[in-house]
Amino acid sequence: MKSLKERLKDFGSNLALMEGRTKGDCKELEGKIITISDYGFLTGTNGEYVVFICKEIDDSFYFGGSVLTQSFRILDDEGYRESILTEGVRLKLEEKRSKNGRNYVSVNFNVEDEPGE
């Protein structure tokens, strides 16, 4: 369990995992298999969103979209946090276009190693 001081930091505008890292753009992750190694949640004007770091680019943190936030909220609520921190979560983010012409980012959790990965 976190100390009170560590837990109170969670209520600030930054998470401990953000310290010493620069804000990355999820566009740079699209189309690549990544491993999320740590995450947390912040609340903004549009509600809660996930903040994460990935093993492949350890000097950056990223803000996740609604699909990723919802998935990690469910996993967190179901008690998978420790497993995520020890094993990581491999996934692939891909930009797609909906039938009505809107762009969105899909999350594929069932990824296999690709040549060159």
Tokens 């009170």 belong to 4
- DSSP annotation of 24 reads P
How do strand 33-44 and strand 47-54 relate by DSSP bridges?
A: antiparallel
- Give the tokens for residue 85: 């921190």
In this predicted model, which residue has the larger pLDDT, 109 or 45?
A: 109
Strand partners, 89: 36
Percent of the chain with pLDDT over 70: 91
Instruction: Give residue-wise pLDDT tens across range 21-75.
Output: 999 999 999 999 999 999 999 988 888 999 999 999 989 999 998 899 999 999 9
d(CA 71, CA 10): 20
Q: What is the pLDDT of residue 114?
A: 56
